[in-house]
Amino acid sequence: MSIPLSPNSTYSVGVLWDFVGGQPIDVDIQAIAVDNRGVIVDCAYYNNLKALGKALVHSGDELDGRTDGVDEKVTLNLAKMPHNVPLIIVAVFCYTGGSLGQVKSGTVVVTDETSRAPVFQTVMNQYGKFRALIVGAFSRSYAGGFAFDALSDPCDGQHFMDVLPSLTQVVRRYIPSAAASGQNAVCAVNFQMQKGNVFDFGRNVAHQGWMSRTPLIEEQPSALCKLLVVRSALECPEVIQ
């Protein structure tokens, strides 16, 4: 299901769930930014609340669903989206406490923040034992406009780094050249996934150096890549050969 979007609007993807007694379930929403080479260049998530020069903004980590209304959301400002980023993949995860099927009143809602009109909605308990759900993708067409595609692909993991094989399939669908060109699609940032390491990649300058890389589309990954991360708030990371 592909839904055309207004190019100058702001959209949000929110997750709602209810707290119940006993062991709380920590549900997280994450928005993964992919450039036109198929490289993951940024992500709005619990440790990085502003991505792509604030084109993606995360509301902050909610641990147990006690908040009334939307517990966590990621906001996408399409007008600020860098031209070399044609794809934003949004996913939700049960970080701790259970599976999607155990999340009480768990709902994911895509909303046009300008008109307040709902765009898409799905409930989490239909995905049973899985701990992760690739909700959908915001993709840029060749004409420059964006559309939202509901994917509803369940998988298993605590965060997006755990579900790279499933993300690979999404990237190949939208950016076939990422695999066909023979280039290795990588994570251009060494994302810290342990909670509590909050860092705003969009406001900091990183030095050039050698880092371990995480391949996204690659059968035999090599060990290292040379990396130069964000030089300003409006730039995306670049992989240096």
Is residue 88 exposed (0-12), middle (13-18) or buried (19+ Cβ within 10 Å)? buried
Average pLDDT over residues 209-231: 35
* pLDDT of amino acid 129: 95
Q: Which among 146, 150, 157 is positioned nearest to 136, based on CA atoms?
A: 150
Residue 68 has pLDDT above 80, yes or no: no
Per the model's pLDDT, the better-predicted residue between 18 and 173 turns out to be: 173
Identify residue 98 by its one-letter amino acid code: G
pLDDT band per the 50, 70, 90 thresholds, residue 240: very low
pLDDT given for residue 27 in this prediction: 92
Mean of per-residue pLDDT scores for the chain? 80
pLDDT of the residue at 57: 97
Residue 65: its pLDDT value, please? Answer: 54
In this predicted model, which residue has the larger pLDDT, 197 or 128? 128
- 130 neighbors 123 (Cβ within 8 angstroms): no
The whole-model pTM stands at 0.80
Domains detected in the chain? 2-240 (2.60.60.30)
- pLDDT for the residue 51: 97
Highest mean pLDDT among 24-28, 52-56, 96-100, 178-182: 52-56
